[in-house]
Structure 1
């Protein structure tokens, strides 16, 4: 499947799951936070309609993979988007996580280029803002909205020409930004957690010696799929050093973080989510052996420190 990278609109490409601005446990990205201006301008962010998108006929229902019919080659001179089916409920707001699906077609030939987000090819939610592609294509739409977008020809990173494209994009739903599972009984000896109204945790460490073994507990048990090795998961997290009692990193205030279970993060972070269900919140204690390694304690790289992570599991995409 080849779907155009939208480099002019986002650092992410629609050929992969769009997760522009994600933080990581070691590298928080404060710039990912939607600004107040972005929130105010989301309704105005949607690009205008035009002759190209208005000439496209769609066959199929919102939420189901559909076909786009138009006279090819379709001349597209600028980015266009038009609503062809309006949803219901509350409009999305900047910073919301949305689930969505799309199908792409070549403007030159009319052939289907690929799709994702439907039942046979689930995709992770994306945070929407006026500054990313979904905000510019959907604006402040309501769940159940379908738009048709058209993209002019461009060039890829190698300088090769990429033909114009037509997208069907369905806004499926708004996804919670914090764990929604059923609260569980606290586990003796584990740190305790209090939550702000938006779900941001605050960790209190128990007195006594710093633990030397990995441990985890489920604070909220979700009702979603079980997380397995190879899944790509979307989480909110906060990391606290047991040695200093300070928060050293978190996704809260930036953007949820995605990673592949079994790679890309320290072993203890994978162990914390493995076998848990979507919608759950877990707390995990990571000694250096499953965190950033043994050695002389160094605040800069967390070597030698025992870490506590509170992790909210928001979504999981099975390995393809």
Structure 2
């Protein structure tokens, strides 16, 4: 990822820091299962179904009373305290959209309640004007209880999950939360984050590198031979999406590829890492952020970043970027939260 410092943690490590990079508004109870480190396995491509093993429904999940429409803040009531020995999940509304398979990045509206007291612990995506939050369907990133609430659920669905205390922690999280609590989770799976930009193609502009796309959306960038890069920041829209506008600042999910104008070589990309990359616009070099802010979700943009809008005179030697190197990024803007 084109971060200001260090130049880029691995996608896997970056995903382990969702609490800071994506600012998912779930308390540590929900996020404590996020892991980090280079040994973390990559999930499969977004939207992949894979083998789904999900909790069966039971008297606890069936007994939670949830009213309200899908994507509207639910009214939730249940007898307290709930004694939860194993996690149960009931589907309240069965959607017909794409399935949130293992490894998928899903747009979700979610509310979490203390199963002992009935009090709301936290929610995300239900406030007026709030976009859904993005959650990866993988216990590499979230505690099993959160994953169980959305795994293998068709878009348009609402589930209620009664998660055991054991499923709301991991060995790593246990160091942070010695007394995990069983919870009730109401989750609306809104949609699956695509793996490439889906906007309407726009005519290319003069002075920009050419971009060719593979069937899966991965770009190949060709720098015009013998051409000096511009000295100022340049932005080109190759696909115009019809989704929400990226505000400033914003938490975004993207696919990207970075090419060094001097060498013509790719120095970094999310393609081939298994899943789109989430981060905050205030965590990246200025030119990268400026390329996205004000654009619409579903768009693909090309940005030419001079050193002053990138890594400056110091460059990033570990990425093969010198202090005078101009960078080119192709960015597919997939979601904003």
Give TM-score scaled by structure 1 length. Answer: 0.82
Alignment map for 1:85-234 (pairs within 5 Å): 85-118=93-126, 120=128, 121-129=130-138, 133=144, 135-153=147-165, 157-211=175-229, 212-234=231-253
My pick for the range that moved more, 131-140 or 205-214, is 131-140
Q: Label 1:158 to 1:244 Cα distance change in 2 as closer, same or farther (>3 A).
A: same
Alignment map for 1:1-320 (pairs within 5 Å): 3-6=27-30, 9-11=33-35, 31-34=41-44, 39-41=49-51, 43-44=52-53, 46-118=54-126, 120=128, 121-129=130-138, 133=144, 135-153=147-165, 157-211=175-229, 212-254=231-273, 255-261=275-281, 263-295=282-314, 298=317, 300=319, 302-304=321-323, 305-317=325-337
The aligned length equals 299
CA distance in 2, matches of 1:297, 1:140: 41
CA distance in 2, matches of 1:2, 1:291: 32
Deviation at 1:83, TM superposition (A): 1.9
Alignment check: 8 A CA contact 1:105 1:111 kept: yes
CA RMSD of aligned residues (A): 3.0
Q: Residue in 2 aligned with 1:15?
A: none
1:128-180 C-alpha deviation (Å, 9 max, x unpaired): 35765565333322112221112233676445524321111111122322112
CA distance in 1, matches of 2:92, 2:276: 30
Alignment check: 8 A CA contact 2:94 2:158 kept: yes
Alignment check: 8 A CA contact 2:205 2:236 kept: yes
Q: Label 1:49 to 1:145 Cα distance change in 2 as closer, same or farther (>3 A).
A: same
CA distance in 1, matches of 2:131, 2:191: 13
Q: Residue in 2 aligned with 1:14?
A: none
Alignment check: 8 A CA contact 1:94 1:130 kept: no
Q: Label 1:85 to 1:297 Cα distance change in 2 as closer, same or farther (>3 A).
A: closer
Gaps of 5+ in 2: 1-24
Deviation at 1:270, TM superposition (A): 0.9
CA distance in 2, matches of 1:104, 1:242: 47
CA distance in 2, matches of 1:29, 1:64: 38
Gaps of 5+ in 1: 12-19, 22-27
